[in-house]
Amino acid sequence: MHLIDIIQKKRNGGELSREEIDYVITEYVRDSIPDYQIAALLMAIWFRGMTRRETTDLTLAMAGSGDQVDLSRIPGVKVDKHSTGGVADTATLVVGPLVAACGGRVAKMSGRGLGHTGGTLDKLESIPGLTVTQTMERFIEIVSDCGLAIVGQTANLVPADKKLYALRDVTGTVDNLSLIASSVMSKKIAAGCDAIVLDVKTGTGAFMKERQGAVELARAMVEIGQLAGRRTLALVTDMNQPLGNAIGNAVEVAEAIQILRGELPSGDLKTVSFALAAQMLIASDICPSEDRAMALLDQAVASGGALERFARMIKAQGGDARICEDPGRLPNARQVLPLKARSSGFVGRMDTEAIGTAALLLGAGREKKDDAVDPAVGIWLLKRIGDPVRAGEDLALFHVNREGNLEESMRRFADAITIAEERPAPLPLIYTKIE
């Protein structure tokens, strides 16, 4: 085969065969194809798109480009959960312990934050002593013993995606449905779980700003998962405001602990987390219905079982499990400064991406992959969309260690909040379920 023929075929709107896709991925991982030719192919895909069959073939070729995780030694159905990313999306730290306390097996490989979105690994690493780097043997032991483990990807898991994503990031080809779907699902398939529950975000803080695009992405990923022999479903959820109230790393761990301890009886983060956990229990054959799953989840919190599972996982991964009883042991910022409302009315709209960027400027996130993250800093929201607010009232608390970007961070946050004269109509939190 000749890559120039494949590039021209896709450029002209043709459909690539499985053999052509396998050739591209295999040879690119072997460094036999230069970046500039793959960049040309990615741009042709961006303009011409891919069929569902092409997208599935691309996903499976990428999944087979490196290690394949074998979880067969872990008893029961192994379930994974994935979010397409947002702000204050701490659901994994709530969902994992909940499902484990109900008898599920959550074997999760997570990622780090980049740009305005947070990363589960960064949040976990704010727990003193905890390491997300585990051997595969130890990963399997922890899941078998605790019911859950959350670790980083192995070095050779889906190397094709690592190379392709780095190239997409610098060639303006990130935002293509087929390329996004294959990137996400190749890692999920290679990670070895039997069932996958997806949380596809839409709104001002999501990668997919428009709801229809999010629904299409969810459908594509569910179809890929099913064709690959995995039980797969997706919830399309709102990201027009931060999911939780805490934006950062240690502050998000603290909020997750509040939910697991039953100290936050309501809120968007709890609602979405419980909805995802219920679907994971159903996919794991533990519950036959959402009502039964919700009852089990409530019991897991009330009994202390969910918090106990989180503590066991933390200890097994080398962390200080005492933070579950005393979150004050988490890293604390030197200053906590309020940001006050400029006018009176109702919180009408939030630019969630700008709010995530405000936290990044404090040091809670990274603009480049090798940037350092400060685990102690972040923002705690005091008002959400629809809440009444008076001029001069606190909108948020800024947890600050360094003041270099503080003024810009506060300005961006303030500009991201629209105060309206009338209370806005509430948006749905969960738009639809795709099966």
- Identified catalytic residue from 22, 57, 89, 161: 161
Please write the tens of the pLDDT for every residue from 155-189.
789 999 989 988 998 898 988 999 999 999 999 99
Is 82 one of the annotated active-site residues of the chain? yes
List the domains of the chain with CATH numbers: 3-49 (1.20.970.10), 78-324 (3.40.1030.10), 331-420 (3.90.1170.30)
Is 168 one of the annotated active-site residues of the chain? yes
State the amino acid at position 365 in one-letter form: G
Residue 431: the pLDDT is 98
Segments in the chain below pLDDT 50: none
Residue 114: the pLDDT is 65
The helix (run of H) or strand (run of E) holding residue 143 is helix 136-146
- Identified catalytic residue from 108, 123, 187, 219: 187
Token pair 């589960």 in the structure block, residue: 120
172: left (phi over 0), alpha (psi -120 to 50) or beta: left
d(CA 362, CA 377): 6
Residue 217: the pLDDT is 95
Is 18 one of the annotated active-site residues of the chain? no
Is 187 one of the annotated active-site residues of the chain? yes
Residue 2: the pLDDT is 93
Residue 115: the pLDDT is 65
- Take residue 409 and report the two structure tokens written for it: 């961070």
- Identified catalytic residue from 168, 230, 231, 399: 168
- Identified catalytic residue from 82, 231, 383, 412: 82
- Identified catalytic residue from 65, 183, 273, 284: 183
Q: pTM for the whole thing? A: 0.94
Burial of 407 (0-12, 13-18, 19+ CB in 10 A): exposed
Is 183 one of the annotated active-site residues of the chain? yes
- Take residue 395 and report the two structure tokens written for it: 């909108």
Residue 80: the pLDDT is 96
